Amino acid sequence: MSPRHIPGRRPRTAVLGAACLTGALTAGLPALPTSASAATVTIAALQGSKRVSPYNNQEVTVTGIVTAICSTGSSRGYWIQDAVGDGDPATSEAVFAYTGSITPSTKVGNKVTVKAKAAECYPGGSADGGQSVTRITQPEITSTASTGNALPAACTLNAASIPDAYAPTPAAAPSRG
């Protein structure tokens, strides 16, 4: 039976995964598209070495140790950090998992795997022209591999670790006239 075309309307089309289409045809069911799976990436790869994450607006899965929890206010969430890191000073080893007004149910020291959406947040609003901060939103902890882990070593930011373009400049001394 061929599909009927109604004048003035565009025909409907869909791109279906081969496994979905084959399984549906075999079972005699209508074929429905399958959802794309989240890319499993390191936190450093998620953060990337540029201003905006290469995974911005994409589903990702990351693993790290919970280092801190924000359980008050409207910007609740938790920070996770890669225990090892990639050794590249141009990438970050941690990311904030934004849970909105929901208090996170995890604990500091837990090694978690999280499926979420990568997003850029502009503190103060994007109209101000400020630097965005990469975070993950709608986080779902898919597994807790272990608890009570030691926290990864802290990183000290200094003139050597911050590119000149982003480092604050000292205030100019007031001129005396």
* pLDDT at residue 16 in the model: 34
- Predicted pLDDT at 6: 39
Question: What is residue 124's predicted lDDT score, i.e. its pLDDT?
Answer: 77
Identify the three-state secondary structure at position 128.
helix
pLDDT of 129 reads 72
d(C-alpha 19, C-alpha 15), whole Å: 12
| Residue ranges of the chain with per-residue pLDDT less than 50 | 1-35
What pLDDT does residue 104 have?
Answer: 94
Question: Pick from 1, 130, 127, 112: which is nearest to 61 by CA?
Answer: 112
pLDDT tens by residue, 2-23? 444 334 433 333 333 333 333 3
Domain ranges of the chain: 39-146
Identify the pLDDT of residue 167: 63
Average pLDDT over the chain, rounded to whole?
78
Find where tokens 């003139």 sit: 159
Q: Would you say 61 and 114 are in contact if contact means Cβ atoms under 8 Å apart?
A: yes
Beta carbons of 106 and 114 less than 8 angstroms apart:
no
Does domain 39-146 bear CATH number 2.40.50.140? Answer: yes
The confidence score (pLDDT) of residue 10 equals 37
Q: Which of 60, 69, 56, 57 is nearest to 42 (CA)?
A: 60
